Chain A
Amino acid sequence: MLKVLVPVDGSSNALHAVHHVLSEYQRNPAIDIHLLNVQPPFSRNVTRWSDRKTINEAHLDASEQALQPIRQMLDKVCVPYSVHLAVGGKASSIAEFARQLRCDHIVIGTARKNSLMRTVEGSVTNEVLELTTVPVIAVAGDLPSTWERYRIQLGAGGGLAWLVVAALE
């Protein structure tokens, strides 16, 4: 039986990953699905003034909210799954859970960004690929908008233009 870890963060890209797992499940129902939601830790300013129970509840609420559409989708087609919650860095938590659960694959939805955007903005998929040797099935999501695609180049161009104008003055 294949054991797959599916990181979900409530984004549309995560839905693409779950769609892929469902299509694989229809071909072969011998798949053990583990959903993982990773919540970022609160800052020290928050943790200093809040008790552990309140912080845990806040993490659980945020996690439930992110998992809800995926749970509904899987429950609707009666596909069994397990849910895990982690607090910490996204990529490191995903790699650690894949190792702990001894998953065969990580199925991750990913934004359709170009190399420059991924390098500047960071990419969880790239980080996961760097951190783990567990095979990763990446399912690319929707195309970014024109503004998202060119904002880095436009920003760099604008900065250069400003420098040229400043130098001429």
Chain B
Amino acid sequence: MSTPATTAAPILDADAHAVPTGERRDEHGRRIALTFDSTVVRPIAPPADCWCVALDGSRHSMHALTEAMRLATESGVRTLDLGTVHHWLSLEAAETELACRGLATSADARALLDARGFAWRLHVLMGEPAPRLVDLTQALGSRGIVVGARGLSAVEGLLIGSVAQQIIYNARGAVLVVRAPAAPEEKVAC
């Protein structure tokens, strides 16, 4: 999974009225997890039959989503779980910001899934990306996690921190790592 995109996608009109179908709070009453279900495509398959795609709004995660859609189509289950993890927010900020950030980060992915006739469940979480995503898929009993990767070497992964690598070695099940071909500008930036 790559570094989150710095520019968030605009919130769609439909998202402004999106109502979470599930919510979890910590001991202080702070919202730490939200779930949204697709309304365009129904029915939604049970989580045990679905892959869970880690989203951060980057092109790497969109590439991972495309591969997950292909895998889901092959197995005849046209539903995907989407997981997006955000930095810790204060009690007050989490009430509105968590949903806004989760919906904005996943806007492109949800639009693509709706257009291709896929049902989805969006899980918006707060905290460290790798452990939260591993916990999520374990709680859901997913078929596995799908994550985009930048193709860092072992040393780069250790120094910069690769979410994909952390997920691989902490997940209980399968982790599909999808590496998008490097864009020319990324090579220059490195």
Contact = CB atoms under 8 A, between A and B. Distances in A.
Interface of A: 2, 20, 24, 27-28, 30, 105, 107, 110, 112-116, 118-119, 122-123, 125-127, 129-130, 132-133, 135-140
Contacts, number: 82
A135 B165 contact: no
B151 A119 contact: no
Contact of B174 (A122, A123, A126, A139): A139
B173 interface: yes
Contacts of B124: none
Given A118-B154, A119-B154, A140-B169, A20 B76 contact: no
Contact of A30 (B74, B175, B177, B178): B74
A88 B155 CA distance: 23
Given A116-B158, A119-B158, A138 B168 contact: yes
A136 B158 CA distance: 20
Contacts of B169: 110, 112-115, 118, 140
Interface string B62-94: 000001000100111000000000000000000
Contact of A136 (B171, B172, B177): B177
Contacts of A127: 154
User: Sorted from nearest, which 5 A-B pairs have the closest CB atoms?
Assistant: A28-B75, A138-B168, A135-B178, A115-B158, A119-B154
Interface in B121-173: 144, 149, 151-155, 157-158, 164-166, 168-173
A110 B49 CA distance: 23
